[in-house]
A and B are shown apart, each in its own frame.
Chain A
Amino acid sequence: MLPGGKRWIIGGPYLWLLIFFLLPFIFVLKISFAEAELAIPPYSSMFDWTEEALNIKVSFANYIWLTGDELYVVAYWNSIKMAFFSTLFCLLLGYPMAYAIAKAPPHLQTTWLLLVLLPSWTSFLIRVYAWMGLLKNNGIINGVLMWAGITDEPIQMLNTNFAVYVGIVYSYLPFMVLPLYANLVKHDATLIEAAYDLGARKWGSFFKITLPLSKNGIIAGSMLVFIPVVGEYVIPELLGGTESIMIGKVLWQEFFNNRDWPVASALATIMIGILIIPIALFHRYQNKESQS
């Protein structure tokens, strides 16, 4: 490529991402130090010209407010906890699935992988919605349970943490399976043969060879689930109850219901602070995987 052409090729996407992806975070950070006002836009400005001098107004009130109120701390803790366990469940279900695809006859692998990915191409909203109908008190699962005589009265499933877990695992499972499959399919089968040859049984060679070698895939898949789930809004909103307070939902309420943009910004800033290390980790392993 010509040097001049190179500049244009880099410039286009670079500029777009700088303006529309990076720059917004600076505004989030800035507004998180502002105060809510009844104005348009509904926050105080940071820079102010009064008495012919530049006044810079930085308020830490939002952060003090957030760390002081137990509701927010619980919401953060809850989000991390639920993201952690749903990642674990996705891994426990997704790993054997990815393994099965990678070990399937080559001509079947694409079809099986497509079977796993296909649901994620249909609307995410509608897949979450499908579980509302299944988990309701007068829904199908309760109907079957009562018909089978397992329970006499409906079990409360919708609007519980259980429903949120089901919804998250259901929606995010393909994101776990895809990187794991991509990793497992590259494994050299002779390594397993070598392990057998040296006396290892099937489970032994799985835990000593296959599992450690799929580390990068496990990290990539787990981050692909964990990070977005920490900020998940739709699933706890539709399937969760009062107990399932997650930070995404709190942020939404602060922004849309309370119109408190500065507090919402502070919530987002702290969330980014929590997620920055997982994101960096994901970035590193993503690069490692694509280069190997």
Chain B
Amino acid sequence: MVTGAPVFKNKFLPYLLVAPQIAVTGVFFVWPAAQAIQQAVLRSDPFGLRTRFVGLENFKVLFSDPYYLGAIRLSFLFAAAVTLIALGVALLLAVMAHRPLKGARVYKTLLIWPYALAPAMAAVLWLFLFQPSIGIVARALQGIGIHWNYTLNGGQAFFLVVLASVWKLVSYNFIFFLAGLQAIPRSLLEAARVDGASSRRVFWSVVFPLLTPTTFFLLVMNTVYAFIDTFGVIDALTKGGPGKATETMVYKLFVDGYKNFQINSSAAQSVVLMALVILLTAVQFRFIERRVHYA
């Protein structure tokens, strides 16, 4: 922060300035989060007449519930698939678009636009292609003998949810990888070439290591996206089904809390997810601190 004496001395103005942000934060962030933590250690009877303190009982129940354990496993598998595919594809495209090509600007623009789409909208576009009876891709798959029906087949539903999520994420990653590539001094690459390194060698020994900070940042952001923001994709495409094949932790929290009114269990699920997000944010900021040193 600014070193030395403060720029302004004023008793009330600073409080007035932070007031809007603090008020909304207090009412819509801190209070609900505190409520979630409180509800997580209580249990109410089905009629909401009596509430008692049960300590960590809700968490014990949660972590012995095979459905919740399934949702955890699914979320991690889903996050790994989405993150790895989106990072790989975006890096490949960014490296290609970074070359001095004719029409590079047009390519870049055509790669960026899906950033503008809501996850739920990405889901709608893919749904139209894969709807079992009218989707043209679905019909083509059935034409070559694949029994395509993601509303019945859990594996296919998972595939479709991953596809729509990755599709939307690629442009975000592309923007960052391209910025990362542009920040690498050309002289460094030329030096490597003069030393006789092949372009593959230049990429793996010079470019890729220099992109590590970007890659790491995107890894965290993509994981958060896969856990949190894909709610819209799942809600529009599969609603967690068929069975529980696409029910991630966030989707299960929504179903249990909003649809089934299981207040205490959903509060415990909220706390678990909060812990996860805090962990991811901490990882990200620890790493950003380090990057400031290197920059």
A-B complex is real = no
Chain B interface residues (CB < 8 Å from chain A)? none
